[in-house]
Amino acid sequence: MKKLAAEFLGTFWLVFGGCGSAVLAAAFPELGIGFTGVALAFGLTVLTGAYAFGSISGGHFNPAVTVGLLAAGRFPAKDVLGYVIAQLVGAVVAAAVLYLIASGKAGFVAGGFASNGYGEHSPGGYSLTSALVIEVVLTFMFLMIIISTTTASRIPAGFAPIAIGLALTLIHLISIPVTNTSVNPARSTGVAVFVGGGALQQLWLFWLVPILGGLIGGYLYRWLGSDTD
pLDDT for residue 10 is more than 70: yes
pLDDT at 156 over 90: no
Query: Is residue 6 classed as helix, strand or coil in its secondary structure?
Result: helix
pLDDT tens figures, 31-52: 788 899 999 999 999 999 999 9
| Residue 192, burial from CB neighbour count under 10 angstroms (0-12, 13-18, 19+) | buried
Q: What is the pLDDT of residues 135-148, one digit of tens each?
A: 999 999 999 999 88
Q: What is the mean pLDDT of the chain?
A: 91
Q: By percentage, how much of the chain surpasses pLDDT 70?
A: 91
pLDDT tens readout for residues 67-88: 999 999 999 999 999 999 999 9
Mean pLDDT computed over 148-165: 79
Query: Whole-prediction pTM value?
Result: 0.91
Domains of the chain by start residue, with CATH: 2-228 (1.20.1080.10)
Predicted pLDDT at 157? 65
Query: Mind listing the pLDDT tens digit for each residue in 195-219?
Result: 989 999 999 999 999 999 999 999 9
Which band of pLDDT confidence, cut at 50, 70 and 90, is reported for residue 110?
A: low
Task: Please say if the pLDDT value at position 152 is more than 80.
Answer: no
**Average of pLDDT values for 128-133?**
97
Q: Which residues of 122-149 are buried (b: 16+ CB within 10 A; e: fewer)?
A: bbeebeeebbbebbbbbbbbbbbbbbbb
Nearest to 190 by CA among 19, 5, 17: 19
Cα first-last separation, the chain: 30
DSSP-derived 3-state class of residue 196: coil
pLDDT digits (tens, 9 = 90+) for 55-66: 999 899 999 999
pLDDT at 15 over 90: yes
Residue 227 predicted with pLDDT over 70: no
| pLDDT confidence band for 8 (50 / 70 / 90) | very high
pLDDT higher than 70, residue 228: no
